[in-house]
Amino acid sequence: MTAAQVIDEIKALNAEEREQVASFLRQYEDRPAVRYADDQAVEEASRRILDRHADLMRKLAS
């Protein structure tokens, strides 16, 4: 079976089955998964950056 044939077979699957295939393939990815920060973590990091670089932020804002 060629890669093109496999792709055609995957296209014919329903959404749930395609997700199972995608989940299976993700285990073979070489790059780390993307991580997302929640709102609280972003707010805390922003506050630390603004506090640490307050003078620079004031200059950029003017």
| Total number of residues shown for the chain | 62
Per-residue pLDDT at 8: 95
Tokens of 14: 């329903």
pLDDT of the residue at 30: 81
Based on its alpha-carbon atoms, the radius of gyration of the chain, rounded to whole angstroms, reads 22
Whole-model pTM: value is 0.45
**Where are the chain's structural domains?**
3-61
Query: How does pLDDT run across 7-62, given as a tens digit for each residue?
Result: 999 999 999 999 999 999 988 888 777 788 999 999 999 999 999 999 998 899 88
Contact 6, 13 (CB under 8 A): no
